[in-house]
Amino acid sequence: MSLRDLYQEIIMDHGKQPRHTGMLPAATHSQLGHNPLCGDKLMLYVKEDNGVIMDARFEGNGCAISMASTSLMIDAIKGKTLAQVAELFGHFHKLVTSGQCEFDLGKLAAFGGVATFPIRVKCATLAWRTLNAALENHPHPISTE
């Protein structure tokens, strides 16, 4: 199996059956994110304690890339500090916009192919933008447009 096939499989798997779905009653932050260009919508719940992401969940629907990205983002941020999360998003953003990143992103590396489809970058980054807004206690739903 080529790396490209493996990456595609990770996205299809998490896109069809996203992990960490549902409400999080203990959430300290929540945020609605919307990508009107594609129709991706998600409600993200985050439990933060002393600058560490303790848990996160989401409810929503959208394309496979947006759902897989949210599922894998939550995998990646659990137990991380806010500074580590910001750093991770910096690397992820670089990957999906340039297709290259020297940083080891683990399964998030599966989104490298998105760089070839600029319209999909918004699908891949919606979860992260929603997360940032949630952590900043943004008062309104955020939109990629």
Query: Which of the stretches 11-19, 100-108, 120-128, 129-137 binds Zn ion when contact is defined by CB under 5 A?
Result: 120-128
Which helix (H) or strand (E) segment holds residue 143: the answer is: strand 142-143
Which of 28, 30, 38, 52 is in the footprint of Zn ion by CB under 5 A?
Answer: 38
Asked if residue 85 lies in contact with residue 105, where contact means CB atoms within 8 angstroms, the answer is no
Query: Which of the stretches 8-16, 26-34, 121-129, 135-143 binds Zn ion when contact is defined by CB under 5 A?
Result: 121-129
Q: How far is CA 134 from CA 47, 111, 129, in A?
A: 10, 23, 9
Which of 31, 40, 92, 129 is in the footprint of Zn ion by CB under 5 A?
Answer: 40
DSSP 107: G
Distance CA 42, CA 130 (A): 8
Least distance between Zn ion and beta carbon 70 (Å): 11
Which of 68, 72, 123, 134 is in the footprint of Zn ion by CB under 5 A?
Answer: 123
State yes or no: residue 66 binds Zn ion (CB under 5 A): yes
**Which is nearest to 16 in space by CA: 53, 63, 73?**
63
Q: Which is nearer to Zn ion, 12 or 26 (CB)?
A: 12
Q: Which residue ranges make up the site for Zn ion (CB under 5 A)?
A: 38, 40, 62-63, 66, 123
